[in-house]
Structure 1
Amino acid sequence: MLTPPWLEPMLKTKFFTHCAEHREMPRNECNMFCADCFEHSSAFCIYCRTQKHSDHRVIQIRRSSYHEVVRVKEVEHLIDIKGVHTYVINSADVFFLNERPQPRGVGAAAGKAAASPFFCEVCSRSLLNDFRFCSIGCKLARIKSNGDTTFVLQERDGSSESSRVEGENTGKLTDDFGECRDGSSAPNDTKSASLRMRTRRRKGIPHRSPLSS
């Protein structure tokens, strides 16, 4: 099986509605999904998790720019997300659940998109790094149409870990939202040169203007 049975139902679930069972409680948004009992439940809130899913594999859904995202660390033990573009938001690696509307028209956004050589293989959305998909929804669509990739976790060891993520660079970039990091650092010689420029003294000795008699 290339896809876990709970993944597609999660992508179709509507999140961030108010929980009917905990209507009077604060923070009762339904932003969680259970990978163990997805056939009998939909999105649920934090109180439902405590009461019904305390020992289950629960995934918390978050939002960025009105679109659902999931933190990589919450699902990396459940599915392989290689090829899916990741972003850094609030110091956490995340990815989008579903395809987002494409930027249209002319202007800075369209020009920026046209300048990128990387595109999602399914929806053709412009990417800022050489990944294959803009979301796990697009990766799922590719699996259903071509079957040339998978969500199944492979056996990992020290020798294969470096090649686990296909098309992934060390830098994780974002396009129109959130915090942007590229994970890079300046070489030591560049830093040293910059430091020398900041600490260099002015040439010559300043002279006082002669006093008029």
Structure 2
Amino acid sequence: MLAPPWLESLLSASFFTVCPTHSDTPRSECNMFCLDCNKDAFCIYCRSSRHQDHSVIQIRRSSYHDVVRVSEIQKVLDISGVQTYVINSARVLFLNERPQLKAPTGKAVSHLCKICGRSLLDPYRFCSLGCKLEGVKRNGDAIKKEEEEEEEEEEEGGSYEGSQREIVQDTPPSPPRHTNSRRRKGIPQRAPLGS
């Protein structure tokens, strides 16, 4: 997943605050985010006046945490590996990591978030979009480090592939496999039970 330029802004935006422009109107909470403008959250009235033809996603709340519907975000972002949940009949995912109060006790947890260690219900890798972004960054740093190490090896003499070839050539051949030339014939029979 290459992180689009708007993703970090989305994850750091403050949602569900009162819109400064439309504070005197009902439903003026900032729960929209424009992927084209890549700025702060805004309300439904701002959307109709300033973001009519833009790509906008709506943020929702679940247990005091920001979520986005899978049907909206998967059109613009690769969300594979992120744990999803069904809330109010809609499949959603969390924007950011949620603190885990206690480590689960008495149960064996087989799936954990690769970044924060939160237990996951299914074999996903991340608990939120924020954790996936962090995982992508870490993976990118690891790849960059590997490339730098390979470049250093090339400068020190010989390519990486050449050094791999030498290792393979120095390894002694494995012993030949012996096949059993005497195979059993028929079905083995057990001794009858005595009376």
Q: TM-score, normalised by structure 1?
A: 0.64
Segments ≥4 residues shifted beyond 3 Å: none
Amino acid across the alignment from 2:6: W
Write 1 or 2 for the structure with the bigger share of helix: 2
Amino acid across the alignment from 2:74: E
Say how many residue pairs are matched: 141
Q: What residue in structure 2 maps to residue 125 of structure 1?
A: 118
User: What is the distance in 2 between the residues matched to 1:20 and 1:33?
Assistant: 15
Q: What residue in structure 1 maps to residue 75 of structure 2?
A: 77
User: What is the distance in 2 between the residues matched to 1:111 and 1:26?
Assistant: 45
| Unmatched tracts of structure 2, length 5 or more | 142-195
Amino acid across the alignment from 1:121: K
User: What is the distance in 1 between the residues matched to 2:105 and 2:31?
Assistant: 35
RMSD: 1.6
Q: What residue in structure 2 maps to residue 163 of structure 1?
A: none
Question: Aligned-pair distance for 1:64?
Answer: 0.3
| Aligned residues with identical type, % of pairs | 61
Question: Aligned-pair distance for 1:116?
Answer: 2.2
Question: Aligned-pair distance for 1:76?
Answer: 1.1
Q: What residue in structure 1 maps to residue 34 of structure 2?
A: 34
Question: Aligned-pair distance for 1:138?
Answer: 0.3
Q: TM-score, normalised by structure 2?
A: 0.69
User: What is the distance in 2 between the residues matched to 1:95 and 1:9?
Assistant: 17
User: What is the distance in 2 between the residues matched to 1:118 and 1:93?
Assistant: 20
Alignment of 1:1-213 (within 5 A): 2-38=2-38, 41-104=39-102, 110-111=104-105, 114-147=107-140
| Unmatched tracts of structure 1, length 5 or more | 149-213
Bigger RCO of structures 1 and 2 (CA < 8 A, at least 6 apart): 1
Amino acid across the alignment from 1:127: L
Q: SS state of the match for residue 146, structure 1?
A: helix
Question: Aligned-pair distance for 1:103?
Answer: 1.9
